[in-house]
Amino acid sequence: MSVAAIWKIGKWFGRVNLPGRMYSLLSFGLSAFPSRPVALFACVAGFVRFEFLEENSNFGEEDRDTLDRFCTISRFGHGTTVRSVQTLFTRRTAADRHTRIACSQDSNCDTKFFDFIVVGSGVAGLRYALEVSKYGSVAIITKAEPQESNTNYAQGGVSAVLCPSDSVESHMQDTIIAGAYLCDEETVRVSFLGVSNFTILFLIQAYWYPVAFSLLMKYDPRMLIVYIVMVVCTEGPDRVKELIAIGASFDHGDDGKLHLAREGGHSHNRIVHAADMTGREIERALLKAVDDEPNIFLFGHHFAIDLLTSQDNGESYCHGVDTLNTETQQIVRFISKVTLLASGGAGHIYPSTTNPPVATGDGVAMAHRAQAVISNMEFVQFHPTALADEGLPIKPINRRDNAFLITEAVRGDGGILYNQSMQRFMPLYDERAELAPRDVVARSIDDQLKKRGEKYVLLDISHKPREQILSHFPNIAAECLRYGLDITCSSIPVVPAAHYMCGGIRAGLHGETNVKGLYVAGEVACTGLHGANRLASNSLLEALVFARRAVQPSIDHMAGSNLDTHSSTLWTRPMLPSSLKGHAIQEILFRTKATRVELQSIMWEFVGIVRSTSRLKTAEWKIGELEADWEDFLFRRGWNPTMVCLEACEMKNLFCCAKLVVNSALARHESRGLHFTEDFPFLEESKRKPTIIFPTSMKLTWSSQQVHKLIAGLPR
């Protein structure tokens, strides 16, 4: 029987909703019968619409425990022995299982209680909040204005298989190739007892996740990342449709169907977009939906200082977060049953980044201090084409807070890269030319700039019809025109800039971390989807998918937990530096600003697009010295370890993230994806594994410790 025939039969069976318990029998059949016909028959029978996280009435506790053990123990197998304290959460009885806790709405109160806390107001945080608000009170804590997030600056779009000529497998293949085979294509093709990767894909397409997961877990745990890629690529179309239902408006073609663009690394047109302002449109729609939801409370201008954590029997638990209201200079403590970190990336460890000013790595740094596992931080994506202000006819008067992004879609629409002598260079580096993945294009531009001693290259789209350019890229055209450049008849000066962190807080299949009660989604998370390099427009897709996948486990955790309203006194409170005398505050702020610039300079010079072991070790030493000098300066002027201010907290987080990047880069002795080192210029199969940083693996400094201290536990 042909694969196409099996596929059609499977799609027919996919309309059937068999009892959930059948998955155990089918899983047994797949493992017990090595012959291909029997295995394929079981595969076809497995095509049922059973989403076990949403319709889990038949999914037993034993099965769930197996899943949890794999996600938690296999991926986060470690523990740090600390003084055991009574956990703040206890299992509820069935009678009060669905009781919700009311939040404190007193604006003058310095402690607030919620069922769910979301740190970050980008696509991941907002989408998650809308779902969990159906089950409890939600606080969204955001550092600046709610719309100030990486999402709002995303130009390209959301990648999803929505065209009949496209396929999930093609999207998967593009993702894995762009990710530099951190999960090898040959592994995707491996057969388990006669069950090919097509079988796994069938099961994923059928939403029969437990069967697919069982196969992967039993026969080759390395396939976990392939499983994640399958899940994200499969669920993507549904997540896009949900956005449209919420109110997001995307571009349509003359035929009335969604207009699908193509970007670098993609083999098909699959980018859903709203001109070149997709992120802004998604953010608008989600914020409106949040505003209409009475169970969600937005706290703007609240900077997250540190997570509130405790330990019990070697396990870490999260109970909320301390924040600084930057408008009132008030410390506000949020206590919750579940916390989701969706705080974005850390682009500002570099001097030039497309990220907004809020992207200082706060989520990754807080999680690291809270004993969370961090992964793949060496994979920093530099977007190849940020607007180079030096090449504009009219130079900006003031330096930008963040570089202006020239979306990947310009090259996908036919844009060509030239050096300043108008020589096209990308075909010299890669047969895909301008449509090569971002890491290839960024390194190619970097090589051109160094060889020719130039500050920027040129991206030309002017050979396309004027109307097409202005309709596809109105935002870019308007920004360039502000500085005297008409992109319909002139080339755009571009240069690489820090753009996206492929690494982050190590997440399980449903956004869970090794810290109980703490979930992650979006750029702050490392789910394994991106591998060593993110495929264009896969970031919004990943954020949507994992925000949605984190919902059910969060609800389960919330429903099975009790919140002690007296628990807020268990941690010492951070202090404002109001007790400092004279010019101490001004001196500290001035020194902190200079230290930040110096750290960014070190990262760009020694931990940039092309690296070497000697430069990485130099960066490690320089950052250590810079951090020690900065901390010593603060303490000599009366700074207390429990003191907080926005600038100092951001500096701590930038130091933490910079060290995580350097340590991860030093640990990878090969060149893969975004990490290219001159000392190990080739891929090595034996190195095809994620980089893991456990909480105890880095030198402890003040910047790497939580501000507060747990001073007491609840009586047993």
Helix runs in 109-265, H state only: 123-132, 150-153, 168-178, 185-188, 197-205, 209-219, 224-246
The whole-angstrom separation of Cα 127 and Cα 547 is 6
Q: Which two tokens stand for residue 226?
A: 């392939």
Pick the closest to residue 28 from 15, 16, 46 (CA basis). Answer: 46
DSSP 19-56: -TTHHHHHHHHHHH--SHHHHHHHHHHT-----TTTS-
Q: Which of 239, 333, 369, 438 is catalytic?
A: 438
Our CA angle for 333, 338, 342, nearest 5°, is 85
Specify whether the CB–CB gap between 356 and 401 falls below 8 A: yes
- Taking Cα atoms as reference points, which of 378, 377, 401 lies closest to residue 389? 401
β-strands 158-159, 260-261 pairing: unpaired
| Residue 611 designated active-site | no
Token duo for residue 205: 């397409």
CA 659 to chain centre: 19
Distance CA 664, CA 691 (A): 6
256 secondary structure, DSSP code: S
Polymer length in residues for the chain = 716
User: Residue 235 carries which side chain, given as an amino acid letter?
Assistant: E
SS3 112: strand
125, 524 Cβ separation under 8 angstroms: no
Radius of gyration of the chain (CA): 25
- DSSP, res 337: E
| Secondary structure class of 610 (helix, strand, coil) | strand
Both tokens of 618, joined, read: 């130099």
- The CA-atom distances, in angstroms, between 427 and each of 10, 175, 435, 701 are 42, 22, 10, 47
In the chain, count H helices and then E strands: 24, 21
User: CA distances (Å), 695 to each of 80, 170, 621, 624, in order?
Assistant: 8, 37, 20, 18
Q: Which residues contact 621 (CB under 8 A, 6 or more apart)?
A: none
DSSP letter string, 492-544: EEEEEEEEEES-EEE--TTSB-SEETEEE-STTEE-SSSTTSPPTTHHHHHHH
CA distances from 353 to 150, 525, 670 (A): 11, 19, 25
CB 404 within 8 A of CB 386: yes
Three-state secondary structure of 273-298 = CCCCCHHHHHHHHHHHHHHCCCCEEE
Nearest to 240 by CA among 551, 542, 625, 534: 542
C-alpha dihedral over 480, 486, 490, 492, to 10 degrees? 10
What is the set of active-site residues? 438
